[in-house]
Amino acid sequence: MAKVIDISELISLVCDKLIEYGVQPHTVWSDYSYNYRPILHFFQEHGCSHYDEGLLMQYRQEQQERYEREDLLRKNYLNKTRAVSCLQEFYSRGELSHVVAGGHAKKHINNANESLLREFIAWSEPANPKTLLDMEWAVRKYLFWLETQGVDDALDVNAHSFSGFMTLASRKYAEGSLHDLQLFLKKFHQFLNTEKGLDIPYEFVLSLPVIRKKRVFPPLTKDEIQRTVAQVDRSTVMGKRDYAIILLSARNGLRGSDIIHLKLTDIDWRGGEIRLIQKKTGNPLVLPLLPDVGEALKEYILNGRPDSRSEFIFLRALHPYLPFNRTMALSHLWSGYQKKAGIERYAHDGKGFHALRRTLGKELTLAEIPIMTTAQILGHRSVDSSKQYISLDSAHLKECALDFSGIEAAGEGYGNE
């Protein structure tokens, strides 16, 4: 294979190969966050964006020293060194050996339940592939638990069965995972009732509200966006591509998943529109092709895009010229420009690539665009998804705040000691 020079590109190809070999996508995404992203950050901290064997060995040595100081658990140490080995092997051979495929973390259930699970997943289609994986994870855990309770046939369950599982799960899982378990089990029992003739009252237990904690991230400031975009060298092939990608998110509010899957035929140049089917919702979306976005797209397609028969607009800048298959590539390019701009980042700070879309949502709210219109522009299935931007509208929230003059706190209390 052609040597991959860029360390970010090499990591992306390794993750692609792991998925190709059968490792579950959500496992690869987790592996990337905990084991590959630290390598990328290590290279960035040393001012190196290219694959460097010596620097990689230095990273590995530091992990070994952390492990010897007991700053790193053995399991985490082995995972990090395995990531290093995967990068070395893929760089030299273009292949990976000793890959444990996706079934390694699955709960093994009996053949009857396995067949029932496969039938349920087929019944649930079409759905987002990641949703189907999460659905399988939840129902598999449920069926495995039933077997441990002596219920080998899911058609023999009763109300006490799934209520007992949810009680146990409530002690083990966080609100988000518990919410997903409840949602997917409700769908599973709907399948059992409608397709298998099971008649048990599952709705009540599986409809009890689970409060999910939602963190509202602040939007990017105009200064942060301008400083970051200023780092894009639009005279280069990569710069032309990245600039068009950033504008599609910042000006049109497209999700990263829709940007990487945007096709040449999705652009209606004469009509001045972008027409696509959203990857997340499966719903059609039509947006105006804004002049600056159109110019950026034309500049990349005509003067920057590699010669390729691919139907997708955005391609990797290095050979082989393939389209992106994960949005983390967009996060890479955005964070790289942020670092050049001197913008400090920390884990879960909400300043990633998706923040461009969030900032547009805030700007629409400040412009007093109706929330229904904002939901349509951002491609939300429900206006509830757009309500988060109201909480970012501090100016109008101040106008709604109650005036406590005349009803000040009296008596003993904090500040009155």
**pLDDT value at residue 215:** 59
Q: Which alpha helices (H) appear in 21-110, and where do they start and end?
A: 25-31, 37-45, 53-68, 74-93
CA of 394: how far to CAs of 124, 225, 365, 377, 404, in Å?
41, 20, 10, 22, 18
Instruction: Give the mean pLDDT of 174-200.
Output: 82
Higher pLDDT, 404 or 32: 32
**pLDDT value at residue 272:** 93
Alpha-carbon span 317 to 38, nearest angstrom:
23
**pLDDT value at residue 202:** 67
**pLDDT value at residue 214:** 57
Domain-wise residue ranges, the chain = 7-101, 106-207, 222-398
* CATH hierarchy code of domain 106-207: 1.10.150
155-179 pLDDT tens trace: 787 767 777 787 777 777 666 677 7
293-340 pLDDT tens trace: 999 999 999 999 999 999 999 998 887 788 887 788 898 889 899 999
Architecture of domain 222-398: Orthogonal Bundle (1.10)
78 Cβ neighbours under 8 A, 6+ residues apart: none
244-268 pLDDT tens trace: 999 999 988 899 999 999 999 999 9
pTM of the model: 0.52
Inter-residue contact 256 to 312 (CB < 8 Å):
no
21-59 pLDDT tens trace: 767 777 777 788 888 989 999 998 888 888 889 999 999
- At 397, phi and psi to the nearest 5? -65, -35
Inter-residue contact 123 to 136 (CB < 8 Å):
no
**pLDDT value at residue 397:** 43
Q: Among all chains, which residue has been given the structure tokens 């706190």? A: 409
